[in-house]
């Protein structure tokens, strides 16, 4: 099964890059984890709602260009459904069982996800009501994907 994380913006901190790299390396035994970064749009602090929508729409176009028609798309959204590690593992297992060959997780930019991406989403998942830096969210998501695969393999890593 192919697993991809699409994130808006580049990870700048070496410690975040190293952490994501570690989980990417660990995921090789399960078929790999592909990290795709799309360029974020300039977004000054004092933008109007119209400007914010424009930025999100431009980023959405970039994100959607990286998604295939048959990909199962999971968007990370504050108002999405909260999942435990076990529930995420069960969902991945279910998707594998029913023939999904690729899951794409999407982390939006600082202004969130554009409507086109939200409309393409097959599942909206929340990691809680906290707002986390996008770079840190990639680390957390990478670890949770790895944990899900370890749970599904019967490993004790989860405990």
| DSSP 8-state symbol, 122 | S
How far is residue 59's CA from residue 56's CA, in Å, rounded to a whole number? 5
Contact 69, 128 (CB under 8 A): no
Closest CA to 76 of 98, 103, 40: 103
Residue ranges with strand state E in 9-157: 33-38, 72-82, 102-107, 123-126
How far is residue 106's CA from residue 124's CA, in Å, rounded to a whole number? 10
Rounded to a whole number of angstroms, the CA Rg of the chain reads 15
pTM of structure: 0.95
How far is residue 139's CA from residue 33's CA, in Å, rounded to a whole number? 12
Structure-token match 């297992």, residue found:
93
Domains belonging to the chain, first-starting first, are: 2-152 (3.40.1280.10)
Contact 117, 55 (CB under 8 A): no
Per-residue pLDDT in tens (0 to 9) along the chain, 159 residues: 899 999 999 999 999 999 999 999 999 999 999 999 999 998 888 999 999 999 999 999 999 999 999 999 999 999 999 999 999 999 999 999 988 889 999 999 989 999 999 999 999 999 988 888 889 999 999 999 999 999 999 998 866
């Amino acid at each position: 099964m192919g697993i991809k994380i699409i994130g808006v913006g580049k990870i700048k901190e070496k410690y975040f890059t190293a952490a994501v790299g570690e989980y990417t390396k660990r995921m090789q035994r399960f078929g790999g984890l592909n990290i795709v970064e799309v360029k974020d749009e300039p977004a000054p602090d004092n933008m109007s709602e119209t400007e914010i929508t424009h930025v999100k729409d431009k980023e959405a176009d970039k994100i959607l260009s990286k998604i295939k028609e048959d990909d199962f798309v999971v968007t990370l959204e504050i108002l999405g459904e909260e999942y435990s590690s076990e529930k995420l593992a069960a969902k991945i297992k279910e998707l594998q069982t029913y023939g999904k060959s690729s899951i794409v997780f999407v982390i939006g930019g600082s202004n969130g996800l554009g409507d086109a991406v939200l409309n393409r989403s097959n599942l909206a998942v929340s990691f809680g009501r906290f707002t986390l830096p996008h770079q840190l969210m990639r680390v957390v998501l990478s670890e949770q994907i790895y944990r899900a695969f370890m749970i599904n393999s019967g490993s004790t890593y989860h405990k």
